[in-house]
Structure 1
Amino acid sequence: MSSTVTAARELFGNPVAGGGSWVEENAVLMGVVWPLVVTAVFLPLAVRRFRRLSR
């Protein structure tokens, strides 16, 4: 969540001073990657669960 917020601040021209970690330096990239990773992990699990409940 904080990567997404930091990315939004950078994109709107309101950067925040950070600690200098790799995640903070690449906030825009992480703002895109984390939701994709979460979707890639939980979408197949949700579909499998939905198919089991449909029986």
Structure 2
Amino acid sequence: MLSNPHISCLIVCGKESDHFAGQSLLALAENGISILGGSKKDYRIRRSDSLS
């Protein structure tokens, strides 16, 4: 989505999976990401219920 400027919205719908993909997308949009341990390779979605 970030690389295509023609996409302006994302609709999240349907039953949530065991991986919390929908909740993670919504948390990413609302809260952004954080970098853990000062490593630019270790990004996490803030306030996500996902296990990883």
Tell me the TM-score normalised to structure 1 length: 0.24
Structure with greater strand share of residues? 2
- Whose relative contact order is higher, 1 or 2, with alpha carbons under 8 Å and at least 6 apart? 1
TM-score (norm 2): 0.25
Determine which structure has more spread, i.e. the larger CA radius of gyration: 1
More helix by share: 1
